[in-house]
Amino acid sequence: MNQRVYLDYSATTPMKQEVLNEMLPYFTEKFGNPSSIHAYGREAKQAVDVARDRLAKAMGAKQDEVFFTGGGSEADNWAIKGIAYANKQKGNHIITTKIEHHAVLHTCEYLEKNGFEVSYLDVDQYGMIDINQLKNAITDRTILITLMFANNEIGTIQPIKEIGALAKEKGIYFHTDAVQAFGNVKIDVNDLNIDLMSISAHKIYGPKGVGALYIRKGVKINSLIHGGAQERRRRAGTENIPGIVGFGKAAELAMETLETHISHTTSLRDKLVKGIMEKVDYVRLNGHPIHRLPGNVNFAFEFIEGESLLLSLDMLGISGSSGSACTSGSLDPSHVLMAIGLSHEIAHGSLRLTIGDFTKEEDIDYVIAELPKVVDRLRQMSPLYEK
């Protein structure tokens, strides 16, 4: 393998050196527990305060509306179960979509087994919800709309502002899973009328195992993890100080470099799409042509299967994914690709390539040169392909 080309930034990102540098002192020297009142404890507490402030700034929130968690999945679980159980006397109906991340979908399914009703909105061929269908789904028992900001597989970005305004008008809590959007799209929770928002550090060049939940002041929510008085009594557990410090730094960097990040990834994305579409036939681009994450490319190649495509690319040093990272170990075709109306065999032939800050133009050139050959080789082997 001569070259290593990582194109799986939506699965996870490498941490930036600046982030690691800020974290390092907190492992072995400034190792205190923020709940302790002595010098070590105060030093740790201050570090958490700085990080919280950076995150709040990055989303236009107040400091005391940002709560650290152990990741994006925990944030999703907390938001949905926490709202559901705290507001069940008001109603038991939740609205979501068919293309949510499993952290949202499986949580909703769990609630369905426990007395809640969930409506799963359809999406069109580009992965967009229909705001009218959303309006019609609302009943007087609806307590929560949980609707992802941007999709992790096909990159489609939903009309969050419209949804937020609708939720506000109807007096329904609005949670958005912004794990993929945060750091790739400008987000202001007030402008967009978001009540709760999940984010995760490892998707924005920060550490794994840290996330956050934005909770608008006044929102009625139960805890998911009970115990000590951390996070203003809402999320127990000794704080992951280095992780939180790293998340803060990553968020700050993301905001400082947002424009160049977007233009860099968008231009490489467009180059990759154009290059492949020109050289390969029987291929389509999944997701929305315009309203999509800057670094997201998702192809469906007919007549071949995703895993053998991934394996072949991996042998060439190219790291991609088919469907979401969480499910690429699974054998089912992605629920997102099914929801946008792909047939089973085409869904099976999907390939996600996601671009990030460290992606270089020559990486894209390499993929444009190699990928068509791989597709061709596999098609030659396929009983479905007639030349």
Ligand X SMILES: Cc1ncc(COP(=O)(O)O)c(C=O)c1O
* Closest separation in Å from C-beta 266 to other proteins: 32
Q: Does 62 bind a second copy (CB under 8 A)?
A: no
Query: What are the start-end ranges of the E strands in the chain?
Result: 5-6, 66-69, 93-97, 117-121, 142-146, 173-177, 196-200, 211-215, 283-285, 296-301, 318-319, 350-354
* Closest separation in Å from C-beta 139 to ligand X: 26
* Closest separation in Å from C-beta 15 to a second copy: 4
Q: Does 37 bind other proteins (CB under 8 A)?
A: yes
Q: Which of 176, 181, 251, 150 is nearest to 210 (CA)?
A: 251
180: partner contacted, choices a second copy, ligand X, other proteins, none (Cβ within 5-8 A by kind): ligand X
Q: Does 304 bind other proteins (CB under 8 A)?
A: yes
Distance, CA of 350 to CA of 322 (rounded, Å): 6
Residue 18 in 3-state DSSP? Answer: helix
Structure tokens at 81: 């179960």
Q: What is the SS3 string spanning 34-94?
A: CCCCCHHHHHHHHHHHHHHHHHHHHHCCCHHHEEEECCHHHHHHHHHHHHHHHCCCCCCEE
* Closest separation in Å from C-beta 201 to ligand X: 8
Residue 289 or 387 having the CB closest to other proteins: 387
Q: Does 233 bind other proteins (CB under 8 A)?
A: yes
Query: What are the start-end ranges of the E strands in 122-266?
Result: 142-146, 173-177, 196-200, 211-215
Which residues, numbered 22-51, are part of the site for a second copy (CB under 8 A)? 23, 27-29, 31-33, 35-41
Q: Does 234 bind other proteins (CB under 8 A)?
A: yes
CB 130: neighbour CB atoms within 10 A?
A: 12
Local structure of residue 332 (DSSP, 8 states): S
312: partner contacted, choices other proteins, a second copy, ligand X, none (Cβ within 5-8 A by kind): other proteins
Q: Which of 362, 383, 278 is nearest to 317 (CA)?
A: 362
Distance, CA of 104 to CA of 81 (rounded, Å): 10
Which residues, numbered 330-349, are part of the site for a second copy (CB under 8 A)? 330
Contact with other proteins (CB under 8 A) among 308, 326, 368, 370: 308
Binding track over 167-206 against a second copy, x by CB under 8 A: ---------------------------------x-x----
Which entry of 24, 185, 326, 338 is annotated as an active-site residue? 326
Which residues, numbered 86-125, are part of the site for a second copy (CB under 8 A)? 101-104, 106-107, 109-110
Looking at residue 213, its amino acid is: L
Distance, CA of 282 to CA of 339 (rounded, Å): 20
60: partner contacted, choices other proteins, a second copy, ligand X, none (Cβ within 5-8 A by kind): none
Residues at the contact surface with ligand X, assessed by CB under 6 A: 71-73, 76, 101, 103, 148, 152, 177, 179-180, 200, 202, 211, 237-238, 326
Catalytic residues: 326
